[in-house]
Amino acid sequence: MVTMHGLFDLKMGRSDVQFKQDFDNFCTHLKQQDLLVTWRYMVRVPDQVYDARPPLVQFYVAMDFADLEQSEKCKKYVMADTDPVNVLHRAVNSKVENTQFFLSEDVE
């Protein structure tokens, strides 16, 4: 499994409920195109023990791909910036700031 991790804050005045709806719409479209397996949207929970070096952002998404090939196809599809994915992607991006992304692969 390959996962794209995204850490971010919501822009001032943006609703986490609206972000989740837009993110779900975006990911559902990618899954329908066979470009995504699963996804998650999470909020950081402060904790005295685990917060030795917490991230500076509050929210986190994870998008799971079957393998590197599927993740690359998805990235190219989104970066092509064509209808309808461009509208869905912009709806998500317009609500976030302080973004950080990285890709990981399960160790077998």
Condensed to tens digits (0 to 9), the pLDDT of residues 7-63 reads: 999 999 999 999 999 999 999 999 999 999 999 999 999 888 988 888 889 999 999
Q: How far apart are CA 67 and CA 92, in angstroms?
A: 24
Q: Residue 103 pLDDT > 90, yes or no?
A: yes
Phi-psi region of 27 (alpha: psi -120 to 50; beta: other; left: phi over 0): alpha
pLDDT of 52 reads: 85
The structure's pTM equals 0.94
Q: Give me the amino acid identity at 13.
A: G
Pick the more confident residue, 46 or 91: 91
pLDDT of 76 reads: 98
Q: What is the mean pLDDT of residues 61-70?
A: 98
Q: How far apart are CA 61 and CA 40, in angstroms?
A: 6
51: its two tokens: 């917060």
Instruction: Work out the pLDDT band at 84, boundaries 50, 70, 90.
Output: very high
* β-pair type (38-43, 2-10): unpaired
Place of tokens 């393998």: 67
35: its two tokens: 């470009």
- Residue-range domains of the chain with CATH: 2-45+56-103 (3.30.70.100)
pLDDT of 95 reads: 97
pLDDT of 5 reads: 97
